[in-house]
Amino acid sequence: MTADDRLIVALDVPNVIVGEQVVDQLGDAVSFYKIGLGMLTGGGLALANELKARGKRVFLDMKFFDIGATVEKAVAGIAQFDLDFLTVHGDPHVVRAAVAGRGDSDLKILAVTILTSLDRSDLDDCLIRSGEIQDLVIERARRAFLAGADGVIASPQEAALIRELPEARGRLIVTPGVRPAGAALGDQKRVATPASAIRDGADHIVVGRPVWAAENPRQAALDILAELGTV
């Protein structure tokens, strides 16, 4: 089968050994994987390179945030590897530094707008200015695009509004917080189903626990692809 790279499976497992097991179980059903901070000390970068050698696409979810000079160096380091997507926080100075660090490599810089696990009371706790979360996400997306981001990470509930931004033309929208109907929400608060996220303008959906924690991960992935009309 030809896998549909609109589905990105988040490999939020502790280490390379478990990660390889999940990738083997999913086989040709999944072609795009996200490796995040949880696996950094468990060999995440080695697994990223191994997946590329196996012909998969890789999204490194590092969510960098620091002074510009440090972000630029960190991204230049990552850009030496042949990976596909890298996340940084969507603050304009961070995005500009990441774009400079990526240089002429093919690495796409994706900006995090507001984590999909946060709601308004969480933002209040962080002293983030008042206003509807949706409006803040859209304005952060717009500013990230203006700073040069190749795409943004946003909740599926905001994808349609971001897609309407003139600044979003030709840019990527990647949505975590995706749950097939009936799946456990975990800590995600602003969720939608795979099909509705794509319908609302997402180019890729990121799904973690509903796939890797399923009794049969391959079947869980195939069910999502069926919902997207791929299989």
Examine residue 186 and tell whether it contacts ligand C5P (CB under 6 A): yes
**Smallest separation, CB 176 to ligand C5P (Å):** 3
Q: Active site includes 189?
A: no
Candidates 63, 73, 108, 189; catalytic one: 63
Query: Among residues 75, 77, 154, which one has the least CA distance to residue 111?
Result: 154
**Smallest separation, CB 178 to ligand C5P (Å):** 6
**Smallest separation, CB 48 to ligand C5P (Å):** 14
d(CA 40, CA 18) in angstroms, rounded, equals: 13
Examine residue 224 and tell whether it contacts ligand C5P (CB under 6 A): no
Q: What would the two tokens of residue 12 be? A: 């939020």
**Smallest separation, CB 104 to ligand C5P (Å):** 27
Which residues touch 193 (CB under 8 Å, ≥6 apart)?
A: 178, 179, 180, 181, 227
Which of 12, 84, 91, 158 forms a contact with ligand C5P (CB under 6 A)?
12
Question: What string marks each residue from 63 to 92 as x (binds ligand C5P by CB under 6 A) or -?
Answer: ------------------------------
Q: What would the two tokens of residue 207 be? A: 């799904």
Of 112 and 173, the one with the shorter C-beta distance to ligand C5P is: 112
Of 104 and 141, the one with the shorter C-beta distance to ligand C5P is: 141
Residues 85-144 that bind ligand C5P (CB under 6 A): 112, 115-117
d(CA 172, CA 199) in angstroms, rounded, equals: 14
Which of 151, 176, 194, 201 forms a contact with ligand C5P (CB under 6 A)?
176
> Hunting for tokens 């391959």 — which residue is that?
218
* 42-46: Cβ within 8 A, 24+ apart: 42/13, 42/14, 42/15, 42/16, 43/15, 43/16, 44/16, 45/81, 46/16
Examine residue 220 and tell whether it contacts ligand C5P (CB under 6 A): no
Q: What is the SS3 assignment for 36?
A: strand
Q: What would the two tokens of residue 132 be? A: 């509807």
Of 166 and 182, the one with the shorter C-beta distance to ligand C5P is: 182
Of 199 and 209, the one with the shorter C-beta distance to ligand C5P is: 209
Q: What would the two tokens of residue 227 be? A: 């919902």
Of 92 and 186, the one with the shorter C-beta distance to ligand C5P is: 186
d(CA 100, CA 134) in angstroms, rounded, equals: 29
Q: Which DSSP letter does residue 1 get?
A: -
Q: How far is CA 141 from CA 12, 168, 169, 185, 212, in A?
A: 25, 8, 12, 24, 29
Examine residue 206 and tell whether it contacts ligand C5P (CB under 6 A): yes
Binding site for ligand C5P (CB under 6 A): 10, 12, 36, 61, 112, 115-117, 153, 176-177, 186, 188, 206-209
Q: Which residues are catalytic?
A: 63
